[in-house]
Amino acid sequence: MHKIHSSLTFEFSPVHDNQREFVISADGIKDAFPAVEALYAAAPLLPRWKFIKFRPRREPADITYEAITIKAMDVLIRVEQNGALIDLFVYVPGYSKKAHNAYAAIVFLMLDQALGEYEVETKIGGIRIDSIDKAVGRTVTLAELSNLNA
């Protein structure tokens, strides 16, 4: 897939009803969206595979990355309208600026779960990450965020 575009990645699901999902993802890189669309359009019809473009909304799950584990139920989000987009302020337990890149990777994966990759890249303006103790205003959980129409 990297020969098509360096940002393309994929996910396989477990087998359900004798079928497996193959998710074609831009890995959150909007410039790779046309490559996802083209690859999806070229996908063959295979009875045991279901091809999906972009990471779909899913039940938010706990994520471990670079020895940091974040429980989905512990993340809080403040949503602010920003013109046609929304800005997200994501509050994470244990967040530190020193490990910002690892926390950011986890947050983006969690947002992809809650909203779907396409929506995160096309309907979200800014995403700011901070410690849970900095949470202010009305916040929602990842599960509640997935029920909002972003």
How far apart are the C-alpha atoms of 33 and 35, rounded to whole Å?
5
Provide the pLDDT for residue 150.
47
> For 72-98, how does the pLDDT look when each residue is reduced to its tens digit (9 = 90+)?
999 999 999 999 999 999 999 999 999
* Contact status, residue 132 vs residue 93, Cβ threshold 8 Å: yes
Q: Is 35 helix (H, G, I), strand (E, B) or coil?
A: helix
> For 97-129, how does the pLDDT look when each residue is reduced to its tens digit (9 = 90+)?
999 999 999 999 999 999 999 999 999 999 999
Class of residue 115 by CB neighbours under 10 A (exposed 0-12, middle 13-18, buried 19+): buried
Provide the pLDDT for residue 149.
57
Q: Where are the domains of the chain?
A: 9-53, 63-147
How far apart are the C-alpha atoms of 7 and 34, rounded to whole Å?
11
Please give the model's pTM, rounded to 2 decimal places: 0.86
Question: Quick one: DSSP state of residue 42?
Answer: T
> For 16-30, how does the pLDDT look when each residue is reduced to its tens digit (9 = 90+)?
999 999 999 999 899
Q: Is 46 helix (H, G, I), strand (E, B) or coil?
A: coil
> Quick one: CA dihedral 109, 110, 113, 117, positive or negative?
negative
What is the spatial order of strands in the sheet that 124-131 belongs to?
Answer: 124-131, 85-92, 76-82, 140-141
